[in-house]
Amino acid sequence: MIHGSTRNRTPRRLAPGTAMWVILLVLAVMMAFAPRAAYASDQAQEAPSLKAGASQFVFDDWAGPSLPVYTYVPKGIDVASAPIVIVMHGASRDPDRYRDQWIKPAEKGGFIVVAPGFSKADFPKSSRYNLGGVFRSKFTRKRDEEQWAFSAIEPLFDDVVARLGGSQARYTIYGHSAGSQFVHRFLFFKPNARVKRYIAANAGWYTFADPAIALPYGLKDAGIDEGALEAALAKDMVVLLGDKDIDPKGRNLRQTPEAALQGPYRFARGQAFYAAARSYAQSKGWDFGWSLRFVEGVAHSNGGMAPAAATLVR
């Protein structure tokens, strides 16, 4: 109930000085609550959590184009601590298929699969995806690093950990075919990435760890100094090869003279890449952390490689 009446009363006027103080007080109260309002708005816009099973979201918290991301979280695992593997698709640019082919291995291994998509529209040709978008045409000038395809991976990992409410500090990265090209070059060009283990499966051709070989087949003029190369060769890299990936005319197998020097087919080229890296490290007296592993009976197939690769997820 409202007591009293204001009808026919003349409003009381505040003295000029008092009016100014009232205005300042109102502004102060508004400013005090503004950060809380902004914080509440930020909280409302937080990314939803990743639920068990297969799901998809769009990742745009980086300087490049938005990326579709396909994930799989096995039921019953501790999502806050389970290993995370980032799976890089091949030249067909089909991250959903790659994710699906990792579901059974993820269930068995108890780890989380994250498969980002780099479309041909946003990342045209091998230079923008396989080679990470580091260089412009003819490899004479670099793009701004924030625009590299490589530069999406670290913030994507942070985004996934936040969605999980997790404490994971590192991750495994796996790639098959064109994705394998992405992974082994990511090792060279992103030296501070929080990767536990790199798994490069069945790449069609390679950037050798040799500063005497011209880009993109080697690291000459790549801007990678000797200290960074030594660190790269000491990291945990698995070159994973299907021993039946031996078609010299395989689909998307690069046939340039430089690529042919690496071997007639993918199985041979992967072995040459590994052997050259080991030889270079030995010639310098450096630690060598890479390993070479074969998957018996498997040709050029992500689905065939995934179960073996899954045993290597850390």
Q: CA angle, corner 289, sides to 285 and 293, nearest 5?
A: 125
Please name which of 174, 200, 295, 198 lies closest in space to residue 245, comparing C-alpha atoms.
295
Q: Is 151 helix (H, G, I), strand (E, B) or coil?
A: helix
What phi and psi, each to the nearest 5 degrees, are found at residue 171?
-150, 165
Closest CA to 111 of 130, 84, 133, 132: 84
Tokens of 94: 């089909």
Residue 59's Cβ-side half-sphere holds a number of Cα atoms within 13 Å equal to 29
Residue 311 host element (H or E): none
If one compares 46 and 200, the residue with the highest pLDDT of the two is 200
Note the pLDDT tens digit of each residue in 103-140. 999 999 999 999 999 999 999 999 999 999 999 978 98
pLDDT of residue 277: 98
What's the pLDDT tens digit per position in 37-67? 333 334 334 667 898 999 999 999 999 999 9
Residues of the chain with pLDDT > 90, as a percent, come to: 82
Helices and strands counted in the chain (H then E): 10, 8
